[in-house]
Amino acid sequence: MAKPKLGLYWAASCGGCEIAVLDIHEKILDVAAAFDIVFWPVALDFKYSDVRAMEDKSIDLCLFNGSIRNSENAEIAHMMRAKSKVLVAFGSCALEGGIPGLANLTTKDAIWNYVYKESPSTVTKNGGTYPQTHSMMPEGSIDIPEMWETVKSLDQVVDVDYYVPGCPPQPEQIWGVIEYILSGKPLPAKGAVLGATDKTCCDECLRERKEKKLKKFFRPFEIQTDPNECLLDQGIVCMGPATRSGCGALCTKANVPCRGCYGPPPNVTDQGAKMVSALSSIIDAQDPQEIESILDQIVDPMGTFYRFSLAHSILRRVEKS
Amino acid sequence: MRQIKIDPITRLEGHGKIDIFLNDDGEVANTYFQIPELRGFEQFCVGRPVEELPRITTRICGVCPEAHHMASAKACDAVFHVDPPPTAKKLRQLLYNVFFAGDHTLHFYALGGPDFIVGPTAPAAERNILGVVKKVGLEVGGKVIEMRKRTQEVLKTLGGKQTHQVTSLPGGVSKGITSEEAKHIEEHCLWFVEFGKFTLQAFNDIVLKNQQYVDLILSDAFSHKTYYMGLVDEQNRVNFYDGKVRVVDPDGKEFVKYSPSEYLENIAEEVEPWTYLKFPFLKKVGWKGLVDGKDSGVYRATPLSRLNASDGMPTPLAQAEYEKMYSTLGGKPVHATLATHWARVIELLSAAEMALDLVRDPEITGTNIRTIPTEIPTEGVGIVEAPRGTLTHHYTTDAKGMVTKVNLIVGTTNNYAPISMSINKAARGLIKKGQEVTEGTLNMIEMAFRAYDPCFGCATHALPGRRPFILRIRDKDGEILKEINRC
Amino acid sequence: MAFEPKIIGFLCNWCSYTGADLAGVSRIKSAPNVRIIRTMCSGRVDPAFILKAFQLGADGVIVMGCHLGDCHYQEGNYKTIRRLPFLRRLVKGFGIDPRRLRLEWVSASEGDKFALLVNEMTEEIRSLGPLKLSVHHEIQQPVAHH
């Protein structure tokens, strides 16, 4: 009997999800034994034309990581959706835009202008040159994809079957998902989040938590912290309360605050809104002026609360002025 | 004119495509190596607290997050004018050398290596890590997997997470190690040194003993005479983590040696409209296009470049291998692009030796791991050697340490011009009039870039833009008949 | 057609909703632009509701609760008094004029205050103009183009 077919693809990605898959170590041999890997650009030499030639729905499982940043990312997303029975949004970028989604805090004009003109190391001739999607060279025409104005998650572009959160998803969780699929047990309902649990990161964190009444916040470099006490108790903004569990609270174990890479907890659509709620509950002030001066100490809420999830938040991007 | 496309390029980190134009005689008229992606880190890091950048910039690349983490950490130290305590620096260097050994392992066995181990024109389905395991056997394959397992375990202990480390802060690191952890890491480092020796032996047996491969390495099709760049310590020995940037000319003579804050006097980036990536070049020589030679500002920053730009390795076993390589290949500098694979495995061994020395240093278990910054933050540059080349992070902040400007010159970006040239030259060398262009031939052309171990996720940290529009066609009552959305 | 602001009003059951009721019963004229959603307490208003209101096309959002010290649940409005200014920073961060989000205390007997606020806010939003967000278009077309 033919082995089920597996494809892995990266859109606007950093490659960390691919490394996370390799970090299941010797179990990768079990994966290779159980599946026929038909597309995996980081490791295997199959090209787009090979996938285009496949029948629709002939790939049994596709793990798609990376956000949708340009026309090529979208084109391949559509192609993988057509060719795959089960399409998984794998990792934070595919799930919610990820860190590339922070580009939704700025505008393409601003970026374009900086990278190709203003950056201190860039040579600008004749007012500056910008990349073009089609270039007519002496030998023929060559093209590059068109960048989109807004970063999108995979499910904002195609229909997604399952989600595996994390930046990257932790290898033990990845193996758990693959093992489950190989077991032949019935898959959960479409749209389920796999490879994570259904509480918040605080649930996995071993630090001691007390009643919180905060009048001051600190940035992580400003103070030495106690390794056993909750970081939020010590005034360090930690995304734990607004982040899904499943990673093992690795960051707080390493004495730095959570930054939310496992995405929002179950039933939460907007990490920023949830974090505003959580921190507001523990700020110990009633006077409007005092409240504002405490809020001033929480620097960059947009870039911190939406570090990974901006593209998938309720408002998705900053409006141009 | 016939056009052959390789899309996407494979067995590397990142995205890229190659267009080869053949004239009517079937010879190469030209090749174009285009980078199709950009994300915008330099711009979207503006407005972020600078201390967050060591955790944000790791997402430029999930294969070499450690490189960005360290360059960023050093840039943050410079911004805050703060000096981490010795234990913190040693912990960072220990993490960094272990990472280097692991990353070079990944490249040699899974990315570039399969071309040699399985064969450059072997069927596509075999030319990968799985084919390597099949060819060299499960025991050897198991060793490679074990190497990664051990390095990742150390990286998790020192960095908090295996991928996307979190422990560096301005002024130091967030977590130290106990003497028990140090002992454990020492065991791993001993294993890494043995693995380094094993890999060099494997390279010798699989590549150097195969005359076909040696001819390929020394062939003109895979050779360029360029400038070479790498970080060196005070004795001009290779250093991955710290030092000054040294550049030697195509004859091997020192051209310039600069400290991080002087990088803008030496490096500039050229823009071409047919690709999203810019071409760095040596300012003092000037941009002459995609050409070799002393008059061209094109330079290479790769493992081979580092060895070319240095006077030696900082560790004894690697130094012996360094000498062997140069005596085998006819002296310094070596211009053969494929020899980069050799330099890479020498660096693998060196990194393992460095890590072993560092973990045995009594200060490694020290408890003073952070200096709290007290100065007003302003501006700073941090440079490390990424496995793929010299990595520069330059940050400017306001008085509160909120980022106002970021400039990055990333490992593989340094090599965009030489990679384009290598692909072009390889294509011309391999595609001959009257001969069929097979899939194997195309793979051999891809080998020209794989030697550089490119990381185009790294290279494509920047982002251009396009104007969106929505076109709505309405009937006479104002109802929308059709909408075309180009957002 | 002249722009008619769409304003969502989250009113707490015990004070502000009763105050609004009083305005109605007293036949105090006020603009019809505020659509009222009753919650048991202003502290029940999750910031996500407000962002959702903007996403779905609201030009403005007003949250009304009991005066401090009068909250039926003792502390609910103390959470609100921190949540709203904090959320306003995010709203501003998204590029939305912060005047489009208001927090006011209206007691059960303040029917006239309710009417005044409704009229005031309607005019302010009218002068600010309709709120156009890119997400408005995106959610109409949930599966994007090629």
Cβ distance A319 to C134 less than 8 Å, yes or no, reads yes
pLDDT at residue C129 above 50?
yes
Chain B residue closest to C141 (CA)? B485
Say whether both A158 and A209 belong to one domain. Answer: no
Provide residues of A within 8 Å CB-CB of chain C.
Answer: 68, 71, 74-75, 78, 105, 149-150, 152, 156-159, 268-270, 272-274, 276-277, 279-281, 283, 285-286, 288, 291-292, 295, 301-302, 305, 313-321
Tens of pLDDT, residue by residue over C28-46, are 999 999 999 999 999 999 9
Cβ distance B485 to C137 less than 8 Å, yes or no, reads yes
> How far is A227 from A255, CA to CA, in rounded Å?
6
Query: What is the arithmetic mean of pLDDT over A92-102?
Result: 97
Stated length of chain C: 146
From the CA of B277, how many Å to the nearest CA of chain C? 24
Stated length of chain A: 321
Cβ distance C134 to B470 less than 8 Å, yes or no, reads no
Write down the pLDDT at residue B323. 98
Q: Please list every residue in chain A whose beta carbon sits closer than 8 Å to the beta carbon of residue C83.
A: 276-277, 280
What domain range includes position A230? 197-321
Tens of pLDDT, residue by residue over B180-211, are 999 999 999 999 999 999 999 999 998 999 99
Lowest-confidence segment of B16-25, B335-344, B461-470, C107-116 by average pLDDT: B461-470
Using the 3D structure, point to which of A158, A183, A208 is the last residue of a domain. Answer: A183
Say whether both A57 and A174 belong to one domain. Answer: yes
pLDDT at residue B487 above 60?
no
Say whether both A160 and A309 belong to one domain. Answer: no
Residues 82-121 of C with CB under 8 A from A: 82-83, 85-87, 89-90, 93-96
Write down the pLDDT at residue C141. 54
First to last CA, chain A: 59
H-run or E-run covering C35:
strand C34-39
Is C52 contained in some domain? yes
Lowest-confidence segment of A24-38, A217-231, B109-123, C18-32 by average pLDDT: B109-123
Q: Please list every residue in chain B whose beta carbon sits closer than 8 Å to the beta carbon of residue A90.
A: none
How many separate domains does chain A show? Answer: 2
Strands (DSSP E) found in B23-173 = 28-34, 168-169, 172-173
Tens of pLDDT, residue by residue over B243-288, are 999 999 999 999 999 999 999 999 999 999 999 999 999 999 999 9
CATH number for the domain that contains residue C94: 3.40.50
Is C2 contained in some domain? no
Q: How far is CA B384 from CA B12, B67, B232, B268, B310, in A?
A: 21, 7, 10, 18, 15
Q: Calculate what percentage of chain C has a pLDDT beyond 70.
A: 95
Write down the pLDDT at residue B479. 62
Residues 53-92 of A with CB under 8 A from B: 69-70, 72
Mean pLDDT (chain B) is 91
Tens of pLDDT, residue by residue over B424-480, are 998 898 888 888 888 888 888 888 888 888 887 777 674 332 223 345 556 555 565
pLDDT at residue B45 above 50?
yes
CATH number for the domain that contains residue A164: 3.40.50.700
Say whether both A174 and A296 belong to one domain. Answer: no
Q: Which phi and psi (to 5°) does residue B271 adopt?
A: -105, 135
The ipTM assigned to this model is 0.97
Write down the pLDDT at residue B480. 59
Q: Give the pLDDT band (50/70/90) at residue B14.
A: confident
Say whether both A273 and A170 belong to one domain. Answer: no
Q: Please list every residue in chain B whose beta carbon sits closer than 8 Å to the beta carbon of residue A69.
A: 37-39
Tens of pLDDT, residue by residue over B360-410, are 999 999 999 999 999 999 999 999 999 999 999 999 999 999 999 999 999
Handedness of CA B440, B442, B446, B448 (dihedral sign): positive
Query: What is the arithmetic mean of pLDDT over B283-305?
Result: 96
Say whether both A166 and A223 belong to one domain. Answer: no
Q: Which residues contact B114 (CB under 8 A, 6 or more apart)?
A: B11, B127, B128, B129, B131, B132
Substitution target in C75, C100, C102, C134 with the highest count of A β-carbons within 10 Å is C134
Is A123 contained in some domain? no
> How far is B389 from B301, CA to CA, in rounded Å?
4
Q: Please list every residue in chain B whose beta carbon sits closer than 8 Å to the beta carbon of residue A99.
A: 56, 59
H-run or E-run covering B89:
helix B86-106
Peptide bond into B8 cis (omega under 30): yes
> How far is B48 from B297, CA to CA, in rounded Å?
34
How many separate domains does chain C show? Answer: 1
Chain C residue closest to B47 (CA)? C93
Chain B residue closest to C135 (CA)? B487
Cβ distance A277 to C93 less than 8 Å, yes or no, reads no
Write down the pLDDT at residue C144. 35
A206 touches chain B (CB under 8 A): no
Q: Calculate what percentage of chain B has a pLDDT beyond 90.
A: 71
Write down the pLDDT at residue B470. 47
What domain range includes position C72? 7-140
